[in-house]
Structure 1
């Protein structure tokens, strides 16, 4: 797994955008008391269920890999000139 530049910031943006997606889809919403790990897991599983990202192989579905997948997903959703995608 190749490390993505600004991965932590991309994951934070993915959680922000993902929270909007979850609410718009009507399947719940993130609470302030939810842990980051739970948010990452829920968003990853929802996106995989909706076929917006390719699911990880069995045995590879751990938090670091889920965070990486979310970072890849959001990097494809952002415009090319977005500050998080700059080198």
Structure 2
């Protein structure tokens, strides 16, 4: 389980990105890079980090399922993810 502070910080980043998305798009189209620099640093979409929705883990993230590899394995073994079965050969 990730630290709660890291998960909350990432949620705040997502809110900032959504808030400033239109303004950033307009400033980039106009070529006003000085105004872009004055926006909050965390309002840039490239600063976002994918995190597991269950555990908050930042590494081993499976984007198709929005969970980490560890949570994915547990859910798959429990049969919670449709169409996923444990392979054996």
TM range (shorter): under 0.3
Output the TM-score relative to the length of structure 1: 0.27
Output the TM-score relative to the length of structure 2: 0.27
Q: Which is strand-richer, 1 or 2?
A: 2
Instruction: Kindly name which structure, 1 or 2, has the bigger radius of gyration based on alpha carbons.
Output: 2
